[in-house]
Structure 1
């Protein structure tokens, strides 16, 4: 397949979108006929030899039902089925681009790896609780823990011995099994309430105090502001009259600050001289405030 045909494949396939009516999408996908081995080989050879996008499209459409079936197996992670299908479709298109019928393997078997890999990446990036599945072993734990727990019938939480057994089978630490189980069985709690909640309902945010208005904090802030104000006036008192006037006009005026030229005209000196006096006065004030 040429590079141009390969890079434009995903943009050239007018497929039904799972993001709309999911049931309608599934019905449409199931209407696309399955391909015989001979037809599949013919389409794949056309795609590889000539970059035939129509052949690629037919290969993808005939395997949409496979993506739907695989995506259904990942519904327990709290993500929308439609989103999982869309990600799986990306994996399917990647598989079609790389499929070589000369290897003697049907596309359905070859595509399963790419579809699952794309769905796995999507779940790990978007699932609200998982942040630890970074190594290959941890990813294996994440995607296999639920099925392994099912072997222990009637068990909601693994015992220490059971966690050690699962850890040994998956090549991870028992502590990682316990942590992942906690994440998988946990549930998100909305900080803010729903608009549909009644007036008497309280969300967690209603129980959180605003530290800014805590009485001790307010007194401390008021005292700090008072000390800062006293320090500022003390530093101003340490300046000569002209320097104090320049600093007040430039930095403490309630309205618009005076310009260097306005103060230069007031004192009969150059604007540069006013700037020098201002700089020296501010340096002196910093020293007095730091003392």
Structure 2
């Protein structure tokens, strides 16, 4: 929202012009100061203007209703500054909600416009915050939105909620504690610069350095995960198909804890009282049997 945005709402013959309010203001502080100077309408004035708009589509009456409630939008928007979004943008979205409220307002219902409009103002601001919040899809359902805004108000600054607070909020909002924990985790996230701020040694730790790495390419990652599964689940199953002597030979030769420390054929020949050639034959047969068992994991 630009500081002069409210001028688009001003009819040429509106009496607010006589009070010096043109909407052509230099900054948000000046805008707020000016809208707080605009006079509030009496109940009778509000009803008359609303009837003129509803019955005769009098846009000048609608604009006067909007202008007289701009201070309300500024006040409501101030309560959402903790989301890291520009105050002016919050006010702009709130003003959209206010105009929607004026369009739908029925003076015969017996309520003041201020009571009716506050719902529309907050709804537009909420929608804006959710669309622009730095974490994608932080809240997509009605329950998640309610949890999102309530969690913001219940957190003590930047501190993480304790178990008691999580259980209390989950009970109050009638949601699962796991949902509270998930939203808490999302909101504790922090933005990370894609590129390093300087050309120093930190460059190797910036996301740009590893997002383009072949090792982190999705297909390569899946291949690595599949290999790990093969090495754990598949290997264990293949070993289980060997007789005790064959398994002992394979584990001693190829699965020693320290790389390069596998047992020699002669060492195992002495252990089992057979020739080194016989150990080699058992090893070869065991390897073939294991390869057959591992086919299902390839």
Q: TM-score, normalization: structure 1?
A: 0.61
Is the alpha carbon distance of 1:16 and 1:179 closer, same or farther for their aligned partners in structure 2, counting shifts above 3 Å?
farther
Asked if structure 1 preserves the Cα contact closer than 8 Å seen for 2:52 and 2:61, the reply is: yes
Residues 89 and 44 of structure 1, relative CA distance in 2, 3 Å threshold: same
- The answer to whether the 8 Å contact 1:138/1:172 transfers is no
Gapped runs of 5+ residues in structure 1? 1-9, 218-291
Equivalent residue of 1:93, what SS?
Answer: helix
Please give the per-residue CA displacement for 1:120-157, whole angstroms capped at 9, x wherever unaligned: 1111111111514222221111111122335xxx9922
Q: Is the 8 A contact 1:12 1:53 kept in 2?
A: no
Q: Deviations over 1:28-67 (max 9, x none)?
A: 2222211111111111111111111111111001101111
Q: Take 2:24 and 2:73, find their aligned partners in 1: how far apart are those partners?
A: 13
Q: 1:112 to 1:168 in 2, by over 3 A?
A: same
Checking the alignment, whether the CA contact within 8 Å between 1:72 and 1:81 is kept in structure 2 is: yes
Q: Is the 8 A contact 2:32 2:71 kept in 1?
A: yes
Please tell me the root mean square deviation across aligned C-alpha atoms, in Å. 2.9
2:104 to 98, 105, 110: 98
More displaced 10-residue stretch of structure 1: 106-115 or 182-191: 182-191
The structural deviation recorded for 1:17 is 7.8
Aligned-partner Cα distance in 2 for 1:108–1:68: 13
| Counterpart position of 1:128 | 134
Length, aligned pairs only? 199
| Contact persistence 2:7–2:23 (CA under 8 A) | no
Distance in 2, matches of 1:119 and 1:141, equals 16
Task: State which of 13, 16, 20 in structure 1 corresponds to 2:23.
Answer: 16
Aligned mates of 1:140, 1:63 — CA distance in 2: 26
After TM superposition, the score normalised by the length of structure 2 is: 0.60
Specify the alignment match of 1:76 in structure 2. Answer: 82
Shift of 1:12: 6.5
Q: Unpaired segments of 5 or more residues in structure 2?
A: 1-5, 11-21, 221-298
Distance 2:24 2:170 in 1: 40
Q: Please name the residue that 1:175 is paired with.
A: 178
Q: For the residues of structure 2 that align with 1:155 and 1:103, how far apart are their CA atoms?
A: 43
